[in-house]
Structure formats: C-alpha cells, structure tokens
Amino acid sequence: MLLCVRGFRLWAARRAAPGGPGVSRDLLSRAGELDRYGGLSVHLARIGALQDLDTTAFRKLLLATMQQWRSEGRTAVWLHIPIQQSRFIAPAASLGFCFHHAESDSSTLTLWLGEGPSRLPGYATHQVGVAGAVFDESTRKILVVQDQDKLKNMWKFPGGLSEPGEDIGDTAVREVFEETGIKSEFQSLLSIRQQHTSPGAFGKSDMYIICRLRPYSFTIDFCPHECLRCEWMDLNDLAKTENTTPITHRVARLLLYGYREGFDKIDFTMEELPAVHTGLFYKLYHKELPESYKTMTGMD
C-alpha cells in the first residue's frame, strides 16, 4: 500500500511538471512579463529551477507551456536565453521559435501565437554614428582629426557610434573628448547622412549625424590609438582644402555660412518634450521658430 501511495505521488508530480521532478508546470508562465500587446517576455536567466534541466525536459516543459499560452490567447512569446543556457535554443527552435536578435551575453527567440502571419517588429535596422563639429567663434577655428589606420588620411570631425540609450548630443561630446581631449557642449544638429549596405554596418542602414559643439577647453590631448593627427584649423581653410571627406567639406561650408549670416539659418535646435508614456521624455530637433511667431501663437 505504501509503495502504491509513493508511486502515485511520483506519477502525479511528473504529470504536474513536464520538466521533471521539482519543476512546476506553470514555471515559465509565472516568470513571463505581459506586455501591452498581449505578448509574454520570458527571461530564462531569472528562473533558477532551470539551471540543472536537460534539453529533453526543457522541451517538454516549453511544449506544455505553449499550449497554456495559446489557451490564454497570448499573441507572442519573447524567449530570452543567456549564453550559459544556449543548450535550450535547439529545443525551442524545434517547437517553432525563431531568432530575433543576439547580444554579447544572450539571444532572444520569438514565437508568434496570434492569427495570420507574424506581426512582430524586426530588430534594429540602423546604426547611428555621430560627429562633433567643435567650432570656436572667437578664433574661427574648428577641431579636426585624421584617423589612425586608414589607407588615405583626410581631415574630418571627431566622432563615433552612439551607444544604446545615449542622446545624439551626448554622443558627440563624449566622442570628441575621448578622441581629442577637448571638452565641449552641444549647440545644434547640422546634418544627417543616410546610406545603405555600408560594409561596416553589418548589413544595416547607417545614419551619420553631425552636431555643432562649442568648446570650453582648447588644449589638444588626442588619443594615439584612434587619431593620427589632430589640430585646430581655420574654418575657411577646411572649406577650401581637398584633403577632406566630401561630407566634412560640405558641412564646413555650411558652418562658414552660419558664421557669416547667423547660425539660426543652419541650426536644428533641440527641445525636450513629455512622451505619451507617463514619466518619459523625448528630444525633438527642429528649426527654431521666430520669436514673433512664438509670441503670436502663445508658445513662449
């Protein structure tokens, strides 16, 4: 009789837990975070009970949970798998999950559960590069560099790729300081270049933004790993030299026009506005409206 009771308990435990003893049937569901579109985001790294689970047990658990998600009307699942648990990728793929993207320490798989073809958005389609045109109006000098390790070294503005969560102006200020040692502050956005199929963009489209910065330090201490040369050059000379990139030449002429006619003619300024999501803000870049129009429309 005692053996029968133990056998029944073991059978019930295994039936309740497709992943095996000690693993609850609704383990993945309880760990899921519901989004406003009816989808679930499941981070396996946060589920300690999965540490010793083998791939067969994980597949059984995931299959049972998928059936539950479908019965609940979920539209999609985002499965975040840390690199230490990459063994779970193959069983998830066998059940219909597909790669969405990967980071240095994890990959994200998705499964569309809604009707019709998947409406899940693709991953990032662009990389964003930002350069800083640091212009000293008092001397009409502009900061330029020549990159290290280039077949043809031409004068250009210092800059680099924007980091996730970093504002455009902050990227320009950071990159200028890291490359040249010059401290500066953001003034405006001058230009945006868009190109596609760039060899250095991993097949993504590429955005390159140039900002106008104002310096508040002037002694150059450039990084020898990134720059071959760095100097303050007369803006008029930069606009005339042939030893520069086409976009640097064009923006130098743009800056020269702004210096002579007023930067309000070329600047896209920035203002911070509240987003539709409570507590969040976004930055809007646009031509500054005349003060007379602001007063007339009650915008001041």
* Cβ neighbours around 65 below 10 Å, total: 23
User: Residue 298 — very low, low, confident or very high, per pLDDT cuts 50/70/90?
Assistant: low
Q: Given a cut of 90, is residue 98 above it in pLDDT?
A: yes
Quote the Cα angle for 222-256-194, to 5°. Answer: 70
Q: Which of 2-6, 54-58, 289-293 has the lowest mean pLDDT?
A: 2-6
DSSP 186-235: EEEEEEEEEESS-GGGTTSEEEEEEEEEEES-------TTTEEEEEEEEH
Q: Residue type at 37? A: Y
| % of the chain residues with pLDDT over 90 | 61
Quote the Cα angle for 131-132-134, to 5°. Answer: 155
**b (16+ CB within 10 A) / e for 261-284:** eebeebbbbbeeeeeeeeeeeeee
Tell me what pLDDT residue 297 has. 52
Tell me what pLDDT residue 289 has. 76
- DSSP H helical ranges for 72-139: 89-94
* Cβ neighbours around 209 below 10 Å, total: 23
Query: CB-based burial of residue 242 (10 Å sphere; 0-12 exposed, 13-18 middle, 19+ buried)?
Result: exposed
Q: pLDDT per residue over 182-219, tens digit each?
A: 999 999 999 999 998 877 777 788 899 999 999 999 99
Q: Which of 140-144, 228-232, 275-279 has the lowest mean pLDDT?
A: 275-279
Q: How far is CA 50 from the centre of its chain?
A: 30
Provide φ and ψ at 54, rounded to 5°.
-85, 175
User: Residue 81 — very low, low, confident or very high, per pLDDT cuts 50/70/90?
Assistant: very high
Measured CA to CA, the distance from residue 21 to residue 157 in angstroms comes to 61
Q: Given a cut of 90, is residue 124 above it in pLDDT?
A: no
| % of the chain residues with pLDDT over 70 | 88
CB 203 within 8 A of CB 197: yes
Q: Which of 49-58, 193-202, 270-279 has the lowest mean pLDDT?
A: 193-202
Q: Given a cut of 60, is residue 150 above it in pLDDT?
A: yes
Q: Given a cut of 90, is residue 250 above it in pLDDT?
A: yes
Residues 13-35 have a mean pLDDT of 68
Tell me what pLDDT residue 151 has. 63
Q: Which of 10-14, 64-68, 111-115, 183-187 has the lowest mean pLDDT?
A: 10-14
